[in-house]
């Protein structure tokens, strides 16, 4: 067995022990606390393919979740499972050459085993597709096209060697919303990047984005983002996916996909979101570090600002009062 396969085996076992044990047992396994900012596990060299002993569509990812006493198999955060409620995310491949664009294709199969073809439109799309590196240093928000017979197609380039997580966020026509996840691999030498320290400001493409509000465990609160450029507020943000911004929040460590709810739409009035500021309801499933990716559109171009935030333990009662409609089953995703 070569050195690369040995290292992947150790990496896969680590993920399974950390994230899969509780689901495999079908019971709670204690609190999840994401690792501190700057701490990542070194996955070493990645092999040319997932382990042949692993039958899951995404390599070592089939279970890929770490349940807590508040996160049983039935109410885990999105993205930790490749299959849920009879629906399964099935990529045609999970191994891509770093830096090379490919026509990445996948299907979502339904409870009857057939490819799903009937979706509800959510935030102007039938399906939202997100790819991030395991160290949360790379973020891609892509827009797949339907290729027919339930197959989705999108040009995908994994920018550097390493392990990645792909998320399909969608609502079947006659069911509640789901976020399914699968691991992807770009073979080669790689060094995971440390998680940036928590900060309430981020810079991207000459813009400065400032965040106010608190992300807490058990308590829904409003996160507000304001954009400036050259020291002046940007007051003419353009609609993107039906709102003035799109937010993806991921828990460091296991990449749990948070259900972040936008305040109104770009056409709505009376909400916290305007062409000057973008607001979202958010609630963390556990204390710990999270990475937030805000997409906003200005001057005809979409920009992505990234933040690291630390969620403290909050009040469940406050969360219920702050955003009673924030359940994932409402079909309102974080877009």
Q: Quick check: 7 pLDDT over 80?
A: no
H or E element: which one contains 278? strand 277-282
Q: Are 294 and 277 in contact (CB under 8 A)?
A: no
* Contacts of 121 by beta carbon, 8 Å cutoff, 6+ apart: none
* Contacts of 333 by beta carbon, 8 Å cutoff, 6+ apart: 122, 123, 128, 169, 171, 177, 179, 259, 261
The full DSSP string for 228-255 is EETTEE---PBPBTTBS-EEEEEETTT-
How many helices (DSSP H) and strands (DSSP E) are in the chain?
3, 19
Q: Collapse the DSSP code of 182 into the 3-class scheme (helix H, G, I; strand E, B; otherwise coil) and give the result.
A: strand
Q: Quick check: 194 pLDDT over 70?
A: yes
Strand partners, 261: 281
Each residue's pLDDT tens digit, 214-247: 999 988 889 999 999 999 999 999 999 888 999 9
For residues 145 and 20, which has the higher predicted lDDT (pLDDT)?
145
Cα–Cα distance measured from residue 108 to residue 117, given in angstroms and rounded to the nearest whole number: 8
Each residue's pLDDT tens digit, 72-128: 555 688 999 999 999 999 999 999 999 999 999 999 999 999 999 999 998 889 999
Q: 186-210: buried (b, 16+ CB within 10 Å) or exposed (e) per residue?
A: bbeebebeebbeeeeebeeeebbbb
CB atoms within 10 A of CB 70: 15
Each residue's pLDDT tens digit, 32-75: 333 334 333 333 333 333 433 343 333 334 333 344 444 455 56
Fold of 3-186: Immunoglobulin-like (2.60.40)
Task: Please give the pLDDT value at position 196.
Answer: 96
- Residues 170-189 have a mean pLDDT of 95
Mean pLDDT taken over the chain: 77
CATH 2.60.40.10-classified regions of the chain: 3-186, 201-330
Q: Quick check: 29 pLDDT over 90?
A: no
Q: Sort strands 301-313 and 216-217 into parallel, antiparallel or unpaired.
A: parallel
CATH code of the region 201-330: 2.60.40.10
pTM of the predicted protein model? 0.74
Each residue's pLDDT tens digit, 295-321: 999 999 999 999 999 999 876 544 444
Q: What are phi and psi of 290, to 5 degrees?
A: -135, 150
Characterise 99 by phi-psi region: left (phi > 0), alpha (psi -120 to 50), beta (else).
left
């Amino acid at each position: 067995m070569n050195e690369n396969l040995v290292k992947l085996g150790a990496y896969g076992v680590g993920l399974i022990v950390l994230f899969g044990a509780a689901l495999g047992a079908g019971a709670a396994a204690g609190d999840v606390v994401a690792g501190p900012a700057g701490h990542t596990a070194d996955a070493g060299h990645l092999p040319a393919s997932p382990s042949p002993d692993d039958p899951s569509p995404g390599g070592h990812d089939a279970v890929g979740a770490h349940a807590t006493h508040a996160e049983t198999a039935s109410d885990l955060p999105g993205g930790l499972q490749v299959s849920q409620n009879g629906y399964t995310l099935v990529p045609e491949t999970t191994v891509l050459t770093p830096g090379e664009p490919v026509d990445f294709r996948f299907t979502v199969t339904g409870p009857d085993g057939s490819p799903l073809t009937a979706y509800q439109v959510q935030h102007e799309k039938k399906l939202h597709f997100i790819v991030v590196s395991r160290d949360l240093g790379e973020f891609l928000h892509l827009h797949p096209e339907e290729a027919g017979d339930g197959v989705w197609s999108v040009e995908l380039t994994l920018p550097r060697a390493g392990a990645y997580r792909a998320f399909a966020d969608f609502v079947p026509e006659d069911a509640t919303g789901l976020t399914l996840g699968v691991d992807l691999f770009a073979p080669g030498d790689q060094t995971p990047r440390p998680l940036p320290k928590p900060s309430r400001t981020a810079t991207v493409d000459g813009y400065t984005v400032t965040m106010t509000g608190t992300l807490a465990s058990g308590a829904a609160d409003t996160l507000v983002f304001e954009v400036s450029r050259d020291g002046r507020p940007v007051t003419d943000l353009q609609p993107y996916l039906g709102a003035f911004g799109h937010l993806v929040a991921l828990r460091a460590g296991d990449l749990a996909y948070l259900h972040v709810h936008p305040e109104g739409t770009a056409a709505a009035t009376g909400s916290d979101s305007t062409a000057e500021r973008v607001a979202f309801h958010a609630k963390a499933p556990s204390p710990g570090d999270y990475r937030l990716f805000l997409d906003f559109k200005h001057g005809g171009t979409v920009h992505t600002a990234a933040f690291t935030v630390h969620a403290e333990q909050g009040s469940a009662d406050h969360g219920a009062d702050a955003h009673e409609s924030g359940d994932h089953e409402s079909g309102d995703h974080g877009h």
